[in-house]
């Protein structure tokens, strides 16, 4: 039976705290309480902060402690590896240090996302770096790679990913067309599929839906039915529609799952 995890990209948003009308977090929620509350609602989260620096193990331990045993994390690989060193051999030490910190999550570590920049050109040098980098990845962890140039979506790339049991990240965004993303689904041969819903970064507050994408969600849901992956992780950015928790709940409904919100969004925590 397929396991479906639907998540938000992050949990630390002050706009999600209830002030007057109910939003997501109860009135009075403190920043250090957010993850615990979030994890009572959704069963997974994408962590963006790891893109900027390797987290201290004490921080990762706190994530572990604040979440229930069934909760799962997807961590973005540091940009030093993907955006600065382009997966070259010079990035291998950073990779090792990052994986060491990430594994503090133990079974709660669901995936590690390798997000490549739009300027990671499809050329021989980068292809060789990619090939060697994939071979460095531990086989017991789920790695997912996101390309932002469609020139990478070729047989050679799919063969390398499948050979190393690394999944292609499917993305609703400005970089690669939805049509080409859907065409790539049939080439994903491993049991894990990761889908990310992004959006134009022109939204300034994140407390309500301001850019409805209901038809697009229906189209994606139908496309994902063609995936043979046993585990499906879907994450939403606030920039997709304006309010990631509601976007996540829309997708939950499409998959026949109950929408989720904190038990009492208006109650004071004091």
Q: State the SS3 of 182-238.
A: HHHHHHCCCCEEEEEECCCCCCCCCCCCCCCCHHHHHHHHHHHCCCCCCEEEEEECH
- The answer as to whether 264 is a domain residue is no
CATH number at residue 24: 3.20.20.410
- The answer as to whether 49 is a domain residue is yes
- The answer as to whether 269 is a domain residue is no
- Of residues 16 and 262, the one with the higher pLDDT is 16
Question: 193 pLDDT exceeds 50?
Answer: yes
- The answer as to whether 266 is a domain residue is no
| Count of domains observed in the chain | 1
Contact 167, 190 (CB under 8 A): yes
Question: 47 pLDDT exceeds 70?
Answer: yes
Contact 111, 192 (CB under 8 A): yes
Please state, in angstroms and rounded to a whole number, the distance separating the CA atoms of residues 69 and 227. Answer: 27
Question: 163 pLDDT exceeds 60?
Answer: yes
Question: 268 pLDDT exceeds 60?
Answer: no
- The answer as to whether 10 is a domain residue is yes
Q: Which domain holds residue 246?
A: 3-254
Please state, in angstroms and rounded to a whole number, the distance separating the CA atoms of residues 151 and 147. Answer: 9
Contact 68, 96 (CB under 8 A): no
The pLDDT tens digits of the residues spanning 121-150 come to: 999 999 999 999 999 999 999 999 999 999
Contact 110, 74 (CB under 8 A): yes
Alpha helices in the chain, H assignment, sequence order: 34-41, 57-65, 79, 92-102, 124-134, 155-163, 178-184, 214-224, 238-241, 244-254
**CA torsion through residues 64, 67, 71, 72, sign:** negative
Instruction: Please enumerate in sequence order all residues whose Cβ is within 8 A of that of 126, keeping only pairs 6 or more positions apart, or say none.
Output: 86, 87, 120
Contact 4, 257 (CB under 8 A): yes
The pLDDT tens digits of the residues spanning 195-205 come to: 999 999 999 99
- The answer as to whether 265 is a domain residue is no
Check residue 264 and give its pLDDT.
Answer: 60
- The answer as to whether 17 is a domain residue is yes
């Amino acid at each position: 039976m397929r396991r479906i995890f639907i998540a938000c990209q992050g949990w630390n948003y002050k706009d999600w705290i209830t002030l007057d009308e109910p939003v997501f977090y109860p009135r009075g929620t403190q920043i250090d309480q957010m993850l615990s509350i979030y994890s009572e609602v959704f069963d997974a989260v994408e962590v963006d902060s790891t893109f900027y620096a390797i987290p201290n193990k004490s921080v990762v331990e706190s994530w572990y402690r604040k979440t229930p045993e069934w909760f799962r994390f997807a961590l973005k690989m540091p940009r030093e590896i993907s955006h600065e060193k382009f997966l070259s051999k010079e990035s291998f030490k950073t990779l090792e240090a990052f994986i060491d910190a990430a594994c503090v999550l133990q079974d709660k570590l669901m995936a590690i996302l390798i997000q490549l920049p739009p300027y990671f050109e499809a050329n021989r040098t980068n292809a060789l770096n990619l090939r060697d980098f994939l071979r460095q990845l531990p086989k017991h962890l789920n790695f997912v790679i996101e390309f932002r140039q469609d020139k990478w979506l070729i047989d050679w790339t799919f063969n390398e990913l499948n050979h190393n049991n690394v999944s292609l990240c499917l993305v609703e965004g400005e970089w690669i067309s939805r049509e080409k993303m859907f065409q790539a689904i049939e080439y994903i041969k491993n049991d894990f599929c990761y889908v990310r819903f992004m959006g134009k970064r022109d939204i300034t507050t994140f407390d309500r839906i301001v850019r409805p994408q209901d038809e697009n969600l229906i189209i994606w849901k139908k496309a994902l039915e063609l995936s043979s992956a046993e585990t499906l992780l879907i994450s939403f950015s606030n920039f997709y529609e304006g309010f990631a928790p509601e976007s996540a709940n829309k997708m939950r409904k499409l998959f026949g799952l109950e929408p989720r919100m904190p038990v009492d969004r208006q109650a004071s925590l004091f």
